[in-house]
Every structure is written in structure tokens, then in C-alpha cells.
Amino acid sequence: MVAKQASAAQHVVGGSQGWEESVDLDSWASGQTFKVGDQLVFKYSSGLHSVVELGSETAYKNCDLGTALDSKNTGNDIVKLNKVGTRYFACGTLGHCDQGMKMKITTVAGNAPSTPASASTSTTSGASVLHSFANFLLIAAFLAFNLLYLV
């Protein structure tokens, strides 16, 4: 359990611009990998925006805020991604969702790599390179031995 928490990523929604109308939130989300254990961090001006979690694709497409599962308005809200599946978020300020201030994310199993990448990913690739190099040396030694033996 400790390893899962250590490798969990915090995704600041919208990147450096945050949860704002000017951000293409769907494009931002499509460039991320969200996994169980990660967190979404919504940073925005409290009073100007809010975060509403919608319960269905239909509610998301229609900006139906009346069926909200949850609502947050602190300006620094954290949403824990605790299960695999698709989740839908929109701004609760009148008109903002209709103007595109919404996003849909898909959370994958906890063993998939997160974006931003964690240190464990680079350690794994280093181990793969080392393993491949060791195999190369074994094959080279085998070929050299056979060439010497046959000549």
C-alpha cells in the first residue's frame, strides 16, 4: 500500500493555467494518464469558478449540473481517483460548462504508468537496458567461442 501512495501522481488540472475557461481542458486531459491512487488538483479563483462532478456522459454532454454527484468551491480542490472508469467534471458557474469549461477523464488500473512519469519508470527502463546488454554479451561470447573452436 505504501508503494502505491509513493508512486501516485498529482495532476494539476489545466496545467500551469489551472481550471480556467481559456484552457482546452479535453486536450489537457488527453495528454495525461490517470491511474487509481492519483489525485486531480483543481486550482482556480474561488467565487469565479467551481468544480462539479457529473454522473453520466449525457449529463456531461448536456451540461446538466442538476444531476451533480459532488460540488467543490474552495479554489484548491482535490479529487482522489479511487477506482477505474470514466469521470466527468464541469464548472458550476452559470454558462461556463456550455462555453466548454468541462472535461472527461478515464482512470486506469494502478499498475499503469502515470503522467507525469515517476522515478520508478526510469529505473525500470534502466534495468531493461542492463538486461539487454547482458544478453548481448552472452551471445557475443558464445559466437566468439564457436568461431575460435571452428577455426
Residue 39 grid coordinates: 489525485
What is d(CA 6, CA 19) in angstroms, rounded to the nearest whole number? 25
CA neighbor of 13 nearest in space, from 47, 51, 68: 51
Lowest mean pLDDT among 57-61, 107-111, 115-119, 137-141: 115-119
- Position 120 confidence tier, pLDDT thresholds 50, 70, 90: very low
Q: What's the confidence (pLDDT) of residue 51?
A: 97
Residue 138 has pLDDT above 50, yes or no: yes
Query: If you average pLDDT over residues 20-42, what whole number do you get?
Result: 94
Q: pLDDT tens digit string along 66-107? A: 989 999 999 999 999 999 999 999 999 999 999 999 999 999
Tally of CB atoms within 10 A around 56: 13
Domains and CATH numbers, the chain: 10-108 (2.60.40.420)
Checking DSSP bridges between strand 85-90 and strand 51-54, what pairing results, if any? antiparallel
Q: Is 121 helix (H, G, I), strand (E, B) or coil?
A: helix
